Structure 1
Amino acid sequence: MAVYDCFTFFNELDILEIRLNELDPHVDHFVVVEATQTFAGTEKPLYYKENENRFAKFSDKIIHVIVDDLPDRSSAWEREAFQRDAMMRGLVHAAPNDIIMISDVDEIPKPQFLKLISPLNTRDRIHFLECEHFNFKLNFRVVDKWIGSGAIRVLEKKNIRSPEKIRRLRARQSRRLPMWLNQLLMMARNKSRFGAFIKHSIYENAGWHFSFMTTTGEMTEKIAAYSHQERNTTAFNTEANFQKMIDEGRAICGRALEEVSMAELPAYVVDNQAKYRGILNQKR
């Protein structure tokens, strides 16, 4: 049984480095899915390819999927879905019962939760590793949880036809509903997606979702490139606006940010604080 960690990648080099080092003991193959265009449809460099020497120690584990055939579609969301489904190109040698993780590069599972997942408890089951959300700095956490804060999906390869459809499966219909009702609703949805009543498990605070861990200038580049094009406006997408959010302690979504201790971050970050000082708040 092998573990495949599959994720889409844009240009998040620091986050990729943290992910590879944090998960290396628990993962057999990393499937890095990178496109030659942004979700908005503009040409982009292959950032992983240009920087692969930085990740040379993981080269025997990395499967680099280059997506150079994004369809000419008007929707950024369709391009994102196409790139995510290209994860399957990196799974051609995976066995039916191999364990597959599906996420974006900035959604990193906590290693202690990966230890709880085994071939036995993954048989015909999907695991949702819910993430805490962080913006701008690795130690700036979004205060209020909400259902869209991100989750890593973990399941057997045999139950994957479309990673994008797996991505659309939510762990919960609502945080306001009791767990038993959430479970019932999820079973019904799984029946329509998988043709069977696939079981599921939810692990809370089981990952880190590190968004916009870069300079304010590069934040404007990301907003111009990603699927939430409703934010790509002259009023919102400016360096000054992002700096104001950071200064006021507000996340991209408008929720409040709180600073957390280093102990709550990945061990690789704790051990390499100087390397990541640009994306850590260390003013105290």
Structure 2
Amino acid sequence: MWNKSRLTEGESRYSSKKTDDICSEANDEDSGRTLSMSRLKCIKYGLDMKAYLFLLVLVPMCVFVIYVHGPKITSFLRPLWEKPPKSFHDIPHYYHENVSMENLCKLHGWGIREHPRRVFDVVLFNNEVDILKIRWKELDPYVTEFVLLESNSTFTGLAKPLFFSANRGQFKFVESRLTYGQCPGRFRRGENPFIEEAYQRLALDFLLKQAGIQDDDLLIMSDVDEIPSRHTINLLRWCDGIPPILHLRLKNYLYSFEFLVDNNSWRASVHRYQSGKTKYAHYRHSDDILADAGWHCSFCFRHINEFIFKMKAYSHFDRVRFSHFLNTKRIQRIICRGENLFDMLPEEYTFKEIIGKMGPIPHSYSAVYLPSYLLENAHKYKFLLPGNCLRESG
């Protein structure tokens, strides 16, 4: 009976193969079965201390990077889920001071009127006193009525002073042609700021009617810092056959006329007013756009506290993700470098455009073709000209 249990000569009860490979044993024992505790032990056995440390460091680091740089990541990946808007139909812009208006209209394919249209410049005012004066001085020769509305509330529901009312004495040169209104804020904190913005823009429609606008009058729809050039408005008021709605392509500046971002600011528009149809709004109204029609100078303030106020008050206040964004030294440093106040990437629709605009905005040392009042009073508005990035604290 020993033949089944007898070991052959030289044979041992222990195999020459390793027997401490529990993964192999687990695989043999569990073949064809569901995952058992043996396999779980096998997985645990395969993870050494270095792997645990790696995971403990990597996971929190990834969470931190996403928390701090999340908006940058989503902005960079924007081309993956959002297509660029439809292209505008660009209308070439012809101008020279020594060319007659009749010839200028003809160059654009338009006729000439016997009498110019009336022009209404309408703005929703926040706190841009310096830019407003430059704007109104630029447009003064050709505007029939200036219409301004301000509120005691920001778009984000914060109480604010009536800045225009407090500085109205600076604008006596338009007093006889000024329709001024105040819109009481609703102060609904936590509400989408674009709702309050739409509410205030709707109030502008009523104020515009009080100003006496009539059909075929020209209506300029743009924010205070989107300034059409005076010769653009003179062209449109004299020419016959212009589009009923025409967007204006403006040179796009940031902080001052030292930092030229691009030539793609397009929200400003001019409308031939139609009763019951024309509504004041700040979005795309048509496909026609007139080239090189003025300037957009965003965040072009004299005082640091004005930067802070706008950062907290305007519709994109959610971009202030950290309290240190409002630090005065940080803001001053960013202004002089031409960097982004909100630490964001360029808002573009292609990777090529995003990468091309990454980093600080290049300095421009050209002060050619800027609003005439700005250059005539350069000592007063020095902070808006090249080489003068330092701001007053306020």
TM over 0.5: yes
From 241, 263, 284, the equivalent of 1:169 is: 284
Does 2:285 align with 1:202? Answer: no
Does 2:225 align with 1:138? Answer: no
Aligned counterparts of 1:108 and 1:279: Cα–Cα separation in 2: 14
Paired residue secondary structure (2:154): coil
Normalising by structure 1, report the TM-score: 0.80
Give 1:176's aligned residue: none
CA contact (8 A) 2:366 2:386 kept: no
Does 2:327 align with 1:212? Answer: no
- After superposition, residues 1-284 of structure 1 pair within 5 angstroms as 1-70=117-186, 72=188, 74-92=191-209, 93-118=212-237, 120-122=240-242, 125-142=244-261, 144-146=262-264, 149-158=265-274, 160-164=277-281, 167-169=282-284, 186=287, 201-214=288-301, 215-233=303-321, 234-252=323-341, 255=357, 256-282=361-387
Paired residue secondary structure (1:264): coil
What is the aligned-residue identity percentage? 30
Structure with larger Rg: 2
Runs of 4+ in 1 over 6 A off after TM superposition: none
Aligned counterparts of 1:283 and 1:69: Cα–Cα separation in 2: 36
CA contact (8 A) 2:367 2:386 kept: no
CA RMSD of aligned residues (A): 2.3
Deviations along 1:204-252, one digit per CA (max 9) or x if unpaired, are 2212111112222321111001000222232433323322322322254
Deviations along 1:61-80, one digit per CA (max 9) or x if unpaired, are 11112111547471111111
Aligned counterparts of 1:260 and 1:70: Cα–Cα separation in 2: 44
Normalising by structure 2, report the TM-score: 0.59
Stretches of structure 1 that go unaligned for 5 or more consecutive residues are: 172-185, 187-200
CA contact (8 A) 2:245 2:270 kept: yes
Aligned residues: 250
Aligned counterparts of 2:174 and 2:162: Cα–Cα separation in 1: 18
Paired residue secondary structure (2:363): strand
Cα displacement (A) at 1:50: 0.8
Deviations along 1:142-189, one digit per CA (max 9) or x if unpaired, are 1x455xx3432111221644312xx22165xxxxxxxxxxxxxx4xxx
Higher share of residues assigned strand: 1
Paired residue secondary structure (2:222): strand
Deviations along 1:43-71, one digit per CA (max 9) or x if unpaired, are 11111111111111210111112111547
CA contact (8 A) 2:248 2:268 kept: yes
Paired residue secondary structure (2:307): helix
CA contact (8 A) 1:103 1:152 kept: yes
Cα displacement (A) at 1:120: 2.6
Residue 238 of structure 1 aligns to which amino acid in structure 2? N
Higher RCO (CA 8 Å, separation ≥ 6 residues): 1
Paired residue secondary structure (1:44): coil
The 3 A distance-change label for structure 1 pair 127 and 33 is same
CA contact (8 A) 2:304 2:331 kept: yes
Aligned counterparts of 1:45 and 1:250: Cα–Cα separation in 2: 29
